[in-house]
Structure 1
Amino acid sequence: MLRPDPAERPRLIEIRDNLIDRIAEAKREGWLGEVEGLETSLAGANDKLVQMDAATARAPSAVDLGMPTFDQIAGRATDSRRSTPFSSS
């Protein structure tokens, strides 16, 4: 499944608007087969827009996890009081 690039949203909106205009023209001219095909394309374009909006809404934001101090890092590596899975404490 292809994931649409949110940066291409304006272009997809332009395509969707063009499809709407072409559907109106096809209905006016009585091109029923063309209407059906264009409506399928329009549904696909609308689905892609929904996917873009959902991806933008759930885009990860930066979370500050903090920076451990040297004492915290060194203490974990050299703490001899901790039991290990192989020790018989």
Structure 2
Amino acid sequence: MLHVNPKMINRLNELEQDLLTRRQHAQHENWLGEIEGIDLTLTYLRTKRDEAERLTHRTVIQLGIPRARGDGD
């Protein structure tokens, strides 16, 4: 699946708001298939946003530049 850059969290929040508005309209119109599709998309979006938010809290570990082993290593 797609890995989301943490810089895109705000965009995901905007997309979620749009989907919630669309879901409300679909519910008003009693479009059950549309509601189901939106709910599934919301689940995926929220999972990806949570994953991206977790990435913002991870510590970066510097491994250094790899080098070939030579004499004396």
TM range (shorter): 0.7 to 0.9
How far 1:58 sits from its partner (Å)? 1.2
* TM-score scaled by length of structure 2: 0.77
Deviations 1:20-55 (A, max 9, x none): 111111001100000000000011110011001111
Structure 2 unmatched ranges of 5 or more: 63-71
Q: Once superposed, which parts of structure 1, at least 4 consecutive aligned residues long, lie more than 6 Å away? A: none
User: What residue is the counterpart of 1:83 in the other structure?
Assistant: none
User: What residue is the counterpart of 1:8 in the other structure?
Assistant: 8
Kindly provide the amino acid, as one letter, of the partner of residue 25 in structure 2: E
> Size of the alignment, in residue pairs?
63
Structure 1 unmatched ranges of 5 or more: 63-76, 78-89
* TM-score scaled by length of structure 1: 0.64
Give aligned-pair identity as a percent: 32
Root-mean-square deviation (CA), in Å? 1.5
